[in-house]
């Protein structure tokens, strides 16, 4: 490669890297504003909009329960199907319960709930806020002295974080039960024994690390969706691009954060 | 009307660039309390940019905006929010919050910025909607009413807090002549009823002549004429005359392309 080609390559990498850093910086600012207004809203006026937050919790979280239940049941079943032959080779078929429970509570519950919510809630938030930008609604809010972060982002952040954690609890239990279905009806084992093995093998740590992670995932996905939505430029096409980008980036950052957290928990706890 | 006493709005030396292109040049303006000032100009002359700079959406690259004596350009976000409560804005599209009813739209500034009792808020909402003739539409969603009605609701919301100054961005754009007259009449009435100062940005000459105490014409990013409507009915400046009379031929070009037409069509080397 010639010197000029190297220079071009470096320039490309540099400008991409700069763009990424700028993006993370913008996300950081939004996150800081959201936290600031949340804390302020808890202690002084203007208060957090409780009815709006509740509305968002129903819209983003409660309505996602059926899809989460379906997906997690299947994931639990898949896991049991995949593990059974391997464990049977070692004569450890009774360990299906242990492996399914730990995988569910530590990893798959939080991760898959967050990914389903990214598609379910994240895309909706990005499209909604983006449409508000196009319709000058955000400009109208700002110029009437109502901070869009306090008014729109804070209720969504609170709702998304709480509901991701709550849905993860549902996902953990349903996913483990999904493994139990295969254990009972395909492997023809006793359900009580499955239940007792699950309860015995799970540690408080397994449940807690999963829930901490899911809170972080929820925060990431809602922050990215709000950031993309509020940053829309260029009409309907811009709304579409923002929606796509928010889903893709959320999934990427959630998995990256998952890797970082799991590594940290591995070494520290 | 004299421009020397206590201006509610004052612009000093505003300059604005977009990607190296100068959009506003040395804009100076004093708007006294109670005046209706109309800024006219063709598409792309910088009207919207000027309005957005005044309301704090864009920061000027040079110069200052004083609203009620307070410098809005260098204000902290909290201070800017306080300044913004003193003015109301009617956006071109109305910019109603699509997830709220008409009544909730008008009530929002009251609920956010005041401690008024809910009963009083409801009363004020009804009063403001009555002013724009839409009291019966309180419970409808913005999507259920026409464009002209949305603008009138936008106006009711803009005046919910009885602002000292109301900004109008193209109030007649996209409206039929009757709806335009209704909005014009509202602007005139508001001045009478609330004593509010109005700053209207429009390219509709007829409505400008109807409502203005003073008209300012923006061309190429600077004011080329400022004066009472009478001066605009028989203008001497050929650019002003072309705009006021709506002539196709004149010193203001329709085409804004910088490249040669033939070169652009046939490529770099003309055949």
In chain A, the residue whose alpha carbon lies closest to the alpha carbon of B80 is: A145
Give the pLDDT score at A172: 96
- Residue A137 forms contact with B (CB below 8 Å): yes
CA distance B183 to chain A (A): 19
Does position B252 have pLDDT exceeding 60, yes or no? yes
Helices (H) and strands (E) in chain B, counts: 10, 10
Chain A residues near residue B56 by CB distance under 8 angstroms: 143
Mean pLDDT, range B94-119, rounded to an integer? 91
Lowest mean pLDDT among A220-224, B66-70, B157-161, B245-249: B245-249
Which residue do the tokens 């009813």 mark? B101
Q: Do A144 and B88 touch (CB under 8 A)?
A: yes
Does position A155 have pLDDT exceeding 90, yes or no? yes
Q: Binning pLDDT at 50, 70 and 90, where does residue B256 land?
A: low
- Domain-wise residue ranges, chain A: 49-262
Chain A residues near residue B114 by CB distance under 8 angstroms: none
Nearest to residue B72, comparing CAs of A143, A73, A49, A26? A143
Give the pLDDT score at B5: 58
Q: If you compute the radius of gyration of chain B from its CA atoms, what whole number of angstroms results?
A: 20
Lowest mean pLDDT among A84-98, B55-69, B112-126: B55-69
Q: Do B84 and A136 touch (CB under 8 A)?
A: no
CA distance A35 to chain B (A): 17
Q: Binning pLDDT at 50, 70 and 90, where does residue B125 land?
A: very high
CA distances in angstroms from B9 to A237, B35, B162, B192, B258, listed in the order given: 37, 10, 17, 19, 36
CA distance B173 to chain A (A): 15
Task: List strands edge to edge, sheet with B70-71.
Answer: B21-32, B7-18, B62-67, B70-71
CA distances in angstroms from A193 to A83, A88, A105, A186, listed in the order given: 17, 17, 19, 15
Is-contact B98 B141, C-beta < 8 A? yes
Nearest to residue A37, comparing CAs of A145, A124, A148, A164? A148
Chain B residues near residue A239 by CB distance under 8 angstroms: none
Does position B10 have pLDDT exceeding 60, yes or no? yes
- Residue A131 forms contact with B (CB below 8 Å): yes
Q: Do B98 and A139 touch (CB under 8 A)?
A: no
- Residue A235 forms contact with B (CB below 8 Å): no
Interface residues from chain B to A (CB-CB < 8 Å): 55-57, 77, 80-82, 84-85, 88-89, 91-93, 95-98, 108-109, 112-113
Give the pLDDT score at B1: 42
Give the pLDDT score at A232: 93
Give the pLDDT score at B236: 81
Where b means 16+ CB within 10 Å and e means fewer, A218-241 reads bbbbbbbbbbbbbbbeeeeebbeb
User: How many beta-carbon contacts under 8 Å exist across A and B?
Assistant: 49
Give the pLDDT score at B269: 60
Please state, in angstroms and rounded to a whole number, the distance separating the CA atoms of residues B186 and B175: 14
Give the pLDDT score at A243: 94
Mean pLDDT, range B198-204, rounded to an integer? 90
Has the ipTM of the complex gone over 0.90?
A: no
Instruction: Quick: pLDDT tens for B148-171.
Output: 889 889 999 998 988 889 999 988
Mean pLDDT, range B127-147, rounded to an integer? 90
Q: Do B109 and A144 touch (CB under 8 A)?
A: yes
Q: Which of B57, B92, B96 is closest, CB to CB, to A143?
A: B57
Does position A109 have pLDDT exceeding 70, yes or no? yes
Is-contact B91 A136, C-beta < 8 A? yes
Is-contact A64 A116, C-beta < 8 A? yes
- Residue A19 forms contact with B (CB below 8 Å): no
Mean pLDDT, range A147-163, rounded to an integer? 94
Q: Do B95 and A146 touch (CB under 8 A)?
A: no
Give the pLDDT score at B180: 85
Does position A112 have pLDDT exceeding 80, yes or no? yes
Most confident of A113-117, B9-13, B51-55: A113-117
Chain mean pLDDT for chain B: 85
Chain mean pLDDT for chain A: 93
Dihedral angle computed from the Cα positions of residues A253, A254, A256 and A258, in that order, rounded to the nearest 10 degrees: 160
A2 CA to centre of own chain: 44
Q: Do A140 and B56 touch (CB under 8 A)?
A: no
Q: Do B112 and A46 touch (CB under 8 A)?
A: yes
In chain A, the residue whose alpha carbon lies closest to the alpha carbon of B88 is: A144
Phi-psi region of B173 (alpha: psi -120 to 50; beta: other; left: phi over 0): beta
- Residue A136 forms contact with B (CB below 8 Å): yes
**Main-chain dihedrals φ then ψ at residue B20, nearest 5 degrees:** 85, -15
Chain B residues near residue A136 by CB distance under 8 angstroms: 91-93, 95
- Indicate the burial class of B47 (C-beta count within 10 angstroms; 0-12, 13-18, 19 or more): buried
CA distance B23 to chain A (A): 20
Please enumerate in sequence order all residues whose Cβ is within 8 A of that of B23, keeping only pairs 6 or more positions apart, or say none: B16, B17, B46, B49, B221
Chain A residues near residue B88 by CB distance under 8 angstroms: 144
């Amino acid at each position: 490669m010639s010197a000029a080609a190297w220079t071009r390559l470096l320039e490309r990498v540099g400008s991409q890297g700069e763009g990424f850093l700028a993006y993370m910086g913008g996300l950081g600012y939004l996150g800081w504003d959201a936290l600031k207004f949340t804390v302020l809203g808890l202690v002084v006026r203007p208060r957090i909009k409780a009815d709006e937050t509740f509305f968002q919790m129903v819209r983003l979280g409660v309505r996602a329960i059926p899809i989460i239940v379906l997906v997690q049941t299947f994931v639990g079943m898949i896991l049991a199907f995949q593990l059974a032959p391997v464990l049977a080779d070692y004569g450890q078929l009774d360990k299906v319960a242990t492996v399914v429970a730990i995988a569910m509570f530590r990893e798959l519950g939080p991760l898959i709930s967050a990914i389903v919510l990214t598609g379910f809630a994240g895309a909706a938030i990005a499209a909604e806020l983006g449409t508000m930008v196009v319709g000058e609604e955000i400009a109208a809010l700002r110029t009437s002295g109502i901070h869009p972060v306090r008014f729109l982002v804070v209720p969504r952040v609170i709702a998304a974080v709480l509901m991701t954690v709550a849905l993860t609890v549902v996902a953990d239990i349903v996913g483990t039960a999904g493994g139990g279905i295969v254990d009972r009806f395909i492997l023809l084992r006793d359900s009580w024994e499955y239940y007792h093995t699950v309860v015995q093998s799970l540690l408080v740590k397994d449940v807690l690390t999963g829930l901490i992670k899911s809170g972080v995932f929820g925060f990431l996905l809602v922050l990215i969706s709000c950031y993309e939505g509020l940053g829309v430029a260029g009409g309907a096409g811009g709304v579409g691009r923002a929606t796509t980008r928010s889903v893709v980036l959320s999934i990427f950052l959630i998995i990256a954060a998952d890797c970082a957290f799991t590594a940290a928990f591995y070494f520290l706890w | 009307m004299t421009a020397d006493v206590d201006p509610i709005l004052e612009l000093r030396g505003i300059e604005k660039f977009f990607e190296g292109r100068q959009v506003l040049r040395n804009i100076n303006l004093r708007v006294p309390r109670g005046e209706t000032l109309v800024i006219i100009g063709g598409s792309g002359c910088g009207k919207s940019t000027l309005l957005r700079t005044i309301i704090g959406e864009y920061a000027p690259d040079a110069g200052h905006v004083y609203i009620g004596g307070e410098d809005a350009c260098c204000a902290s976000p909290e201070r800017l929010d306080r300044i913004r409560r003193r003015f109301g804005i009617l956006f071109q599209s109305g910019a109603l919050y699509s997830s709220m009813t008409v009544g909730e739209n008008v009530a929002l500034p009251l609920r956010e910025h005041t401690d008024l009792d809910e009963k009083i808020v409801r009363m004020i909402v009804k009063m403001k909607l009555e002013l724009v003739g839409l009291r019966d539409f309180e419970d409808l969603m913005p999507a259920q009413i026409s464009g002209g009605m949305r603008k009138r609701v936008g106006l009711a919301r803009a005046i919910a807090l009885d602002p000292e100054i109301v900004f109008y961005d193209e109030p007649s754009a996209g409206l039929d002549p009757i709806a335009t007259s209704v909005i014009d009449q509202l602007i005139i009435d508001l001045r009478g009823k609330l004593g509010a100062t109005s700053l209207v940005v429009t390219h509709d000459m007829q409505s400008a002549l109807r409502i203005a105490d003073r008209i300012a014409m923006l061309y190429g990013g600077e004011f080329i004429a400022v004066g009472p409507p009478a001066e605009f009915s028989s203008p001497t400046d050929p650019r002003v005359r072309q705009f006021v009379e709506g002539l196709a031929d004149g010193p203001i070009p329709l085409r804004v392309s910088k490249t040669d037409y033939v070169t652009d069509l046939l490529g770099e080397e003309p055949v």
